[in-house]
Amino acid sequence: MASAMYAQTLQRLLKSFEDAGEPVHIVVRWVPDLKDTKRTGFILTGSVPQALRVYFFNYLKLLFIFEALLDALLDESRMVIVMDLDVQVRRGWTQTLQRCLAGPGTEGAEGAEGAEGAEGAEGAEGAEGAELCFLQQAAFGDRRLQQANSGVVVFGGRRSSVASAVAFFQALAARLQAQEVVARLLPHHDAVAFEQLLMNYVLNDIRKWKEKEKEERQKEGEWENELERLEDSTPRLVRWGIYNPLVAYAGMFLTHAVLTNTVHHATASNVDLKQKLRLMDSAQLFVADLRSFCPGPLPDGRLPAELPLPAFCYYFTGVDPHFGPLLDHFRVHGGFSEQDNMVVIDHLQRRAAGRAWIQMVISFNEGAYKRWRSYRKNSTAAMGEVLWTPSF
């Protein structure tokens, strides 16, 4: 959805698609200005009471999602992505998002078998992918009330995925309909939740039912590998997935995997639109400068034909050049935890060997992005000086 106040943001996103060079069919729906872009957080504009404003916003977004569902039903082989405007993509982004739907066995993508993720993760559950995929809310941490970010929602690609997406969003519509009573009874109170929170309520309910189902079967003496055999006799649960933050993520920061991250939703509750645009512009320069030293690895982590590459090129990826991806490409019915974060931190400490490579990303995230254009002085020399500095 776009409005007049978001026209510049829309143009940035369209330019991002163009630069990535991957064929996509884009649908934009214009709506009245709903958000105050000069204030931090998600403050809706309008003269009607706050609860009714939130309800109206949720209603519009759900209408847009159901329109996307109709497109998916007309062509069940098509992956459909409902995306906010404050997103930027890079080469390989469609393959990154498709992997969650297609499963870990997708040809040409890194396997999840070599990942060092947390115990009990369902990222490589069989060869089946998820039916509905989301970015994780900013930073690592599993089992949060709001695990999924609603800024990028991915579904489609096969009949079962579309049918499950329809069921999920029907459940979301039912929750929204119940909110109308609250909006009319308490119009001047913050009593109506935004669609992201409602969405996470449904996702958490699915996860709880999945966990309950496993516990009951184990009590009955069923082995873990027989769970799939019994699925036909039990109610089927929607398989929702969360992308690895090292391949696609949400937040007002860069991850260390800037060379393999292909989707970035710049969002936070304490920033305004101007700050988001500044971060995305600076991030684009940062990645372009790093790419000038590192023509590879490719977005999926594979090595390019032109070898060898400097060691720091592999440092800024989510893939260990010897052991494969650090984490699963996605997780089913769960996200990426602090334990996963420790896997990444341990990798960074070992690979840095005393160099200050990661400090460049930390400094950027702590506010240097606001001055990045002047810092680099239209040259890659400043970055090169840090990258080529010997270990201490």
| Rounded Cα–Cα distance for residues 281 and 263 (Å) | 14
Supply 253's token pair. 């920061």
**Closest by Cα among 326, 323, 301 to 314:** 301
Residues of the chain with pLDDT under 50: 106-121, 123-126, 229-233
Residues in the chain, total: 392
* Burial track 49-63 (b if 16+ CB lie within 10 A, e otherwise): bbbbbbbbbbbbbbe
What is the per-residue pLDDT for 77? 75
Domain residue ranges in the chain: 4-120+130-239+247-387
- For residue 188, the one-letter residue type is H
Q: Sign of the CA dihedral 100, 106, 110, 115?
A: positive
pLDDT in the model for residue 345: 92
pLDDT at residue 299, as a whole number: 56
Residue 8, burial from CB neighbour count under 10 angstroms (0-12, 13-18, 19+): exposed
pLDDT on residue 233: 47
Other residues' Cβ atoms within 10 Å of the Cβ of residue 265: 23
pLDDT of residue 226: 54
pLDDT (tens digit per residue) in 72-106: 888 877 899 999 999 999 999 999 999 999 876 54
DSSP assignment string, 147-207? -EEEEEEEEESSHHHHHHHHHHHHHHHHHHHHHHHHHHHSTTSS-S--HHHHHHHHHHHHH
Q: pTM above 0.85?
A: yes
Q: Tokens at residue 377, please? A: 């002085």
CA distances from 213 to 139, 233, 289 (A): 29, 12, 50
Contact 325, 109 (CB under 8 A): no
Q: DSSP letters along 192-217, please?
A: S--HHHHHHHHHHHHHHHHHHHHHHH
- CA 357 – CA 257 distance, rounded (Å): 12
